[in-house]
């Protein structure tokens, strides 16, 4: 999508985990100076295929960290899924690279360390997540002290109107059938449990320095309003566009300018309506857990995220039922002794602890079933 922005935007470096073919295809198209491949076998293949082309191949997670610090990079678009993206995000900020952040887990796990570090290094963090891009843009309409609340919209996922027992026993196929967005498996399942919105609530608190009681969540099935900001006079500013990730990605890259977009445009020649409804925390406990985690803070963001990553993996491999994902996360949170002012090492330790604890609950569930 970057070609239409003209010659001042160039791809300097690309990364992949195991999808070597896709990476090589993009190398042919964008001619980057470097690539990083984090999975062993894929990395060997990439090195073989790129021999003699002048493209430098960085190896493994350590190589990725080295690559994002290159001097010829202006902006790092961080879009690795999960806590696995953390080291590269921190390395980019340490090196003073502007950060276009799609890896919400970096803030959920380690916002308490990442945000002060970015301030210290004077590194701007530009949100790529569509909801946060919307809030970021709406915030331009008023001053900091004039904000009453941010309102995160959520599509509600495939089980928006499903009864509890249907949600409990949903299959992988059901969970991957998202009504409005085409995304990777992890985020699609997170969208079905609403843990995606849980992560986004915490992400919003860090990005915009808002307490959780100033961030509301509303279900909006059409995914046309990407989020809103209400100001103290009662004005609510919303960001609307058809659901297309190219819009927020582009804005993160061109900010503070705007450039011609190539996404679908809002078509008002056809009749359509926009619907809003409050979220049901009984059917989607992730929302309740998110407010608790955001309020109590400390190591809990890392714990919620890690437990969820383990539970999603267990569901995907058929070990637990869909409804047990949030149960596993809740049990792990309940067992955690919160550390109030964690450093990065404490957060990574909390992440490891939560994966082990969640996996123990998963094994116990497996025996019981
Ligand atoms: Mg989002």
Ligand 1 center–CA 330 separation, angstroms: 22
Ligand 1 center–CA 14 separation, angstroms: 22
Is 291 part of a structural domain of the chain? Answer: no
Give the confidence band of 177 by pLDDT, cuts at 50, 70, 90.
Answer: confident
What would the pLDDT profile of 237-261 be if each residue is shown by its tens digit?
999 999 999 999 999 999 999 999 9
Residue 83 and residue 47 share a domain: yes
Residue 357 and residue 257 share a domain: no
Residue 35 and residue 21 share a domain: yes
Residue 109 and residue 48 share a domain: yes
What would the pLDDT profile of 137-159 be if each residue is shown by its tens digit?
999 999 999 999 999 999 999 99
Ligand 1 center–CA 206 separation, angstroms: 15
**What integer pLDDT is reported at residue 251 of this predicted model?**
97
**What integer pLDDT is reported at residue 323 of this predicted model?**
95
Q: Which of 240, 259, 284 is the last residue of a domain?
A: 284
Gap between the Cα atoms of 361 and 322, Å rounded: 15
Ligand 1 center–CA 196 separation, angstroms: 7
What would the pLDDT profile of 67-120 be if each residue is shown by its tens digit?
999 999 999 999 998 888 999 999 999 999 999 999 999 999 999 999 999 999
Ligand 1 center–CA 87 separation, angstroms: 22
Q: Which of 125, 147, 172 is the last residue of a domain?
A: 125
What would the pLDDT profile of 283-295 be if each residue is shown by its tens digit?
999 999 999 999 9
Ligand 1 center–CA 279 separation, angstroms: 16
**What integer pLDDT is reported at residue 126 of this predicted model?**
98
Ligand 1 center–CA 232 separation, angstroms: 25
Per-residue pLDDT for 52 more than 90?
A: yes
| Contact (Cβ atoms closer than 8 angstroms) between residue 15 and residue 67 | yes
Ligand 1 center–CA 219 separation, angstroms: 13
Residue 301 and residue 335 share a domain: yes
Residue 91 and residue 150 share a domain: no
Q: Which residues are bridge partners to 231 per DSSP?
A: 147
Q: Which of 284, 314, 332 is the last residue of a domain?
A: 284
Each residue of 49-59: b (16+ CB within 10 Å) or e?
A: bbeeeebbbbb
Ligand 1 center–CA 200 separation, angstroms: 7
Whole-structure pTM value? 0.95
Ligand 1 center–CA 349 separation, angstroms: 27
Is 249 part of a structural domain of the chain? Answer: yes
Ligand 1 center–CA 157 separation, angstroms: 12
Ligand 1 center–CA 195 separation, angstroms: 11
Query: To the nearest whole number, what is the mean pLDDT of the chain?
Result: 96
Gap between the Cα atoms of 310 and 234, Å rounded: 41
**What string of DSSP letters covers 20-75?**
HHHHHHHHHHH--SEEEE-SHHHHHHHHHHTTTS--EEEEHHHHHHHHTT-TT-SE
Q: Among 51-55, 182-186, 211-215, which stretch is predicted with the lowest mean pLDDT?
A: 182-186
Domain that holds residue 191: 128-284
Give the confidence band of 183 by pLDDT, cuts at 50, 70, 90.
Answer: confident
Ligand 1 center–CA 84 separation, angstroms: 18
Ligand 1 center–CA 223 separation, angstroms: 10
Residue 205 and residue 95 share a domain: no
Ligand 1 center–CA 244 separation, angstroms: 11
Per-residue pLDDT for 180 more than 90?
A: no
Is 354 part of a structural domain of the chain? Answer: yes
Ligand 1 center–CA 45 separation, angstroms: 33
What would the pLDDT profile of 298-335 be if each residue is shown by its tens digit?
999 999 999 999 999 999 999 999 999 999 999 999 99
Angle formed at CA 160 by CA 154 and CA 164, multiple of 5 degrees: 135
Q: What share of the chain has pLDDT > 90, as a percent? A: 94
Ligand 1 center–CA 126 separation, angstroms: 14
Residue 173 and residue 98 share a domain: no
Ligand 1 center–CA 350 separation, angstroms: 25
């Amino acid at each position: 999508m970057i070609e239409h922005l003209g010659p001042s935007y160039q791809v300097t470096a690309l990364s992949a985990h195991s999808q070597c073919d896709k990476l090589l295809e993009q190398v042919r198209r964008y001619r980057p100076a470097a690539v990083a491949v984090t999975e062993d076998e894929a990395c060997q293949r990439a090195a073989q295929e790129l021999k003699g082309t002048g493209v430098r191949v960085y190896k493994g997670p350590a190589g990725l960290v080295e690559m994002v610090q290159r001097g010829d990079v202006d902006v790092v678009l961080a879009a690795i899924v999960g806590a696995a993206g953390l080291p590269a995000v921190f390395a980019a900020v340490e090196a003073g690279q502007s950060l276009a952040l799609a890896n919400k887990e970096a803030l959920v796990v380690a916002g308490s360390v990442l945000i002060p570090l970015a301030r210290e290094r004077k590194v701007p963090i530009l949100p790529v997540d569509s909801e946060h891009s919307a809030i970021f843009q709406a915030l331009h309409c008023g001053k900091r002290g004039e904000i009453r609340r941010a309102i995160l919209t959520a599509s509600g996922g495939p089980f928006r109107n499903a009864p509890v027992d249907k949600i409990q026993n949903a299959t992988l196929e059901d969970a991957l059938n998202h009504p409005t967005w085409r995304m990777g498996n992890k985020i699609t399942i997170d969208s079905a449990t609403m843990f995606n919105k849980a992560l986004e609530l915490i992400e919003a608190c860090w990005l915009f320095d808002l307490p959780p009681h100033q961030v509301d969540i509303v279900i909006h099935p059409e995914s046309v309003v990407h989020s809103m900001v209400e100001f103290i006079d009662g004005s609510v500013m919303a960001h609307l566009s058809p659901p297309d990730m190219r819009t927020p990605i582009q804005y993160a890259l061109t900010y503070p300018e705007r450039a011609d977009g190539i996404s679908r445009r809002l078509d008002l020649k056809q009749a359509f309506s926009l619907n809003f409804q409050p979220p049901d925390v009984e059917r989607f406990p992730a929302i309740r857990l998110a407010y608790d985690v955001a309020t109590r803070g400390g190591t809990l963001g890392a714990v919620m995220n890690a437990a969820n990553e383990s539970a999603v993996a267990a569901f995907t491999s058929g070990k637990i039922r869909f409804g047990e994902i949030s149960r596993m996360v809740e049990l792990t949170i309940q067992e955690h002794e919160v550390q109030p002012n964690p450093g990065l090492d404490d957060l990574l330790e909390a992440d490891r602890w939560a994966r082990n604890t969640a996996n123990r609950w998963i094994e116990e569930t497996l025996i019981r079933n």
